[in-house]
Amino acid sequence: MIFKRKPKLSPEQRKYLRLDTVLPVQLRLESPDRQVILSPWVQGFTGNLSRGGICLAVNNLPPEMFQACREKKAVLSLEIELPILRRPVSALASVIWVKEAEVGSPKCLLGLDYTKIDPRHSRLLMRYAWGKKIFIPLVIAIVLVLSAALGINTYLNYQLTKNNKTLVEELVGVLQESKQAKEKIQQSAAARKLLQEESVSLQKKIENLEAKIGFVMTEEANKVLPVSTHNKEVNERLVKLNQEKNALALKLLNLTRQEVLAKEEVKALEQKQAALEKISIDKMYRWLQVHQNMRTGLSMSFEGDNDVANWAFTYDQALLIMAYTNAGDFSRAQILLDFYARRAERTNKWFFNAYYANDGSSAETVMHSGPNIWLGLAIMQYAHKTKDIQYQRVAEEIAANIIVLQSKDGDGGLRGGPEFSWYATEHNLDAYAFFNMLFNITGNNKYKKARDIALDWLIKHTYDPLDMPIKRGKGDATIATDTYAWSVAAIGPEKLFSIGMNPDKILEFVEENCLAEVPFKRPGGQTVMIKGFDFAPQRHLARGGVISSEWTAQMVVTFKIMADYYLSKNDLKRSSSYSDKANDYLAQLGNMIISSSSASGQGEGCLPYATQDYVDTGHGWMTPKGSHTGSVSGTAYTIFAYYGFNPLALKNEP
């Protein structure tokens, strides 16, 4: 192999460190004593820079300048444009060498040596040149690194999303298999019952025939007569009945075996279901986390409905505070509480129904009592769990507003808000629970008084054991599922019994009137039947049945409350019955879990608000748009249902 030597640079060229940087330069020819300007300004551009000089590329250099430069008798005055300076850098330079770019080309190259330049400007020129020399490769390297990271992140997100979606579908598949296995058990049990009844009937017939045969034979034996034809026919019939009985016994044995196998299958599926449910609940909680804007603390309430995109409803944010608090995720709860304590826009200390999640500005300036009280409930749950009372001032401001509204009504009722005249049972139940928490934590009797006023109003205006257990509001006999669930959750079974209300009857009523079973089309196209609770009796609405994920979860919480109540009374039968209902409806909600459709959601599990989009709830608002819109309230309340967390009562910590 032959190695070629690099050509040697002339001493003049070697001076110039080749930092290729293009800068516009104005140059003109002056006399050596700088007393006479010999040429007008000419435009050129730097080719490369060094601390001691500069290389210029000049187009159409006037002949007299070119000749003077070639003879090296010229003094050049330079004005170098540097982007980081307002004014150009001034310098004087002598010509070291001149070179035509190409024969016949108007372009020439000038090698110049500074004879006068401000040292600071010289350093700035070199720093700029070095910066540009390093910057481009650095940018390219950063772009390549970021592109690689983005590619890896995209792949990992794809895999995570894929795995999360697979998990959701696996849980739904297990629930469907378990449902089918349970149906087999029920069918086998029903068939076994019929066979047992038939077997008992056959046994009686056999016993009757045996008795009859015994009587005939005795009578004939006394007469010493041969066996009669009649007795022979009866005997043949007896043999046939015994054969039928044996066949039934075989069928019963097979059915029993099938039941045993089905029960074993259900047991195995329930174990798998329990494991998948826990993972799914963790994924749902993760979905709540990834949607929190860490600058405002807020989370958009509905993922998938463009009409309310980026809206964070205060009620939903209260549920999030409780979810974070109950999970021990106090830093997330604090960010959200900080927003309401320090940044949220208010009118007369009333919070608005909704804010924008990205910047915290008001999205819906309506002020309802319910969302304000729920924020107060969330603060009290946080204070109770953490013993941190820094946000209690906000809760007491909310309480003061509610007490003012109570005082303006002759019966102490709570209106829908400062600007509304209607009364909702829901809001007064919320107020009862809120004042009860405040009294338990502060010991202040004014909250006990306000709590009792709320309960008196509820007894007088909404509870009617002779007609329907609970009205939706004052003078409003509409059935609303949440008022039934929240009556038990807010007041408690013990207290309800003491005021003449039967919580069992309350729940029986809502099961008889608001329970529905409807088809739900999953994102993959599969249709599953889901049994749960509607917003209102479906017979009253033309839309047919709709399952609310949130309100079904509220009922699950309530059933668990009743199960615990009867367990404390040592009524194991009723406790088990309520516990079974809670587990069954919670499993039904498992069929509604969908994978997040957003990039940030990464396929994590969440619950849609309802089984149908954009339909009338029966209470003055529509379900969200979007066939599979993720709901904060539905997801958060399902997590509450899984853990048996009652947001309307303080839990006694161990």
DSSP category for residue 85: S
What is the gyration radius of the CA atoms in the chain, in angstroms? 43
pLDDT at 540: 62
pTM over 0.75: no
**297 φ/ψ sector (left φ>0, alpha ψ -120 to 50, else beta):** left
Whole-angstrom Cα distance, residue 333 to residue 331? 5
Q: Is the pLDDT of residue 376 over 70?
A: yes
pLDDT, mean of residues 65-87: 83
Q: Where are the beta strands (DSSP E) in 74-106?
A: 75-80, 89-100
State yes or no: pLDDT of 199 exceeds 60: yes
pLDDT at 14: 43
The pLDDT of residue 119 is above 80 = yes
Mean pLDDT of 425-437: 97
In this structure, which topology does domain 129-290 adopt according to CATH? Helix Hairpins (1.10.287)
Look up the CATH architecture of domain 11-117. Beta Barrel (2.40)
Work out the average pLDDT over 386-399.
97
SS3 of 222-259: the string is HHCCCCCHHHHHHHHHHHHHHHHHHHHHHHHHHHHHHH
| pLDDT tens-digit readout, 488-536 | 999 999 999 999 899 999 999 999 999 999 999 888 788 889 999 999 8
Mean pLDDT of 597-621: 82
Confidence of residue 632 (pLDDT cuts 50, 70, 90): very high
- Indicate the pLDDT class of residue 477, thresholds 50, 70 and 90: confident
Give mean pLDDT, residues 418-429.
96
At 245-260, the pLDDT tens digits run: 788 778 777 877 777 7
**Is the pLDDT at 468 greater than 50, yes or no?**
yes
Query: Which of residues 283 and 453 earns the better pLDDT score?
Result: 453
Specify which of 68-82, 154-168, 206-220, 290-304 reaches the highest per-range mean pLDDT.
Answer: 290-304
**pLDDT value at residue 36:** 76
CA distances from 450 to 198, 326, 344, 402, 411 (A): 65, 27, 26, 9, 12
Class of domain 291-461: mainly alpha
Q: What is the mean pLDDT of residues 59-80?
A: 83
- pLDDT at res. 260: 75
Which burial class, exposed, middle or buried, applies to 45 when counting CB atoms under 10 A from its CB (0-12, 13-18, 19+)?
middle
Task: Please name which of 311, 333, 313, 329 lies closest in space to residue 321, comparing C-alpha atoms.
Answer: 333
Q: What is the mean pLDDT of residues 469-489?
A: 92
Both tokens of 236, joined, read 């043949």
| Closest by CA position to 417, among listed 345, 351, 337, 342 | 351
**For residue 599, what pLDDT is reported?**
65
pLDDT tens track for 553-608: 999 999 999 999 999 999 999 999 999 999 989 989 988 888 887 766 666 889 99
Higher per-residue confidence, 143 vs 195: 143
Does the pLDDT value for residue 538 go beyond 80?
no
> Cα 640–645–648 angle (5° rounding)?
105
527 versus 186: the higher-pLDDT residue is 527
Q: Round to whole Å and give the CA distance between 186 and 196.
A: 15
- Percentage of the chain beyond pLDDT 90 is 43
The whole-number pLDDT of residue 495 equals 96
**Domain locations in the chain as residue ranges:** 11-117, 129-290, 291-461, 502-654
What pLDDT does residue 602 have? Answer: 61
Q: Are 515 and 559 in contact (CB under 8 A)?
A: no
Which of 190-199, 323-332, 454-463, 524-533 has the lowest average pLDDT? 190-199
Give residue 4's pLDDT: 43
Residue range 258-283: mean pLDDT, rounded:
75
Is there a shared CATH topology between the 11-117 domain and the 129-290 domain? no
Most confident of 124-128, 177-181, 201-205, 311-315: 311-315
Task: Report pLDDT for 506.
Answer: 94
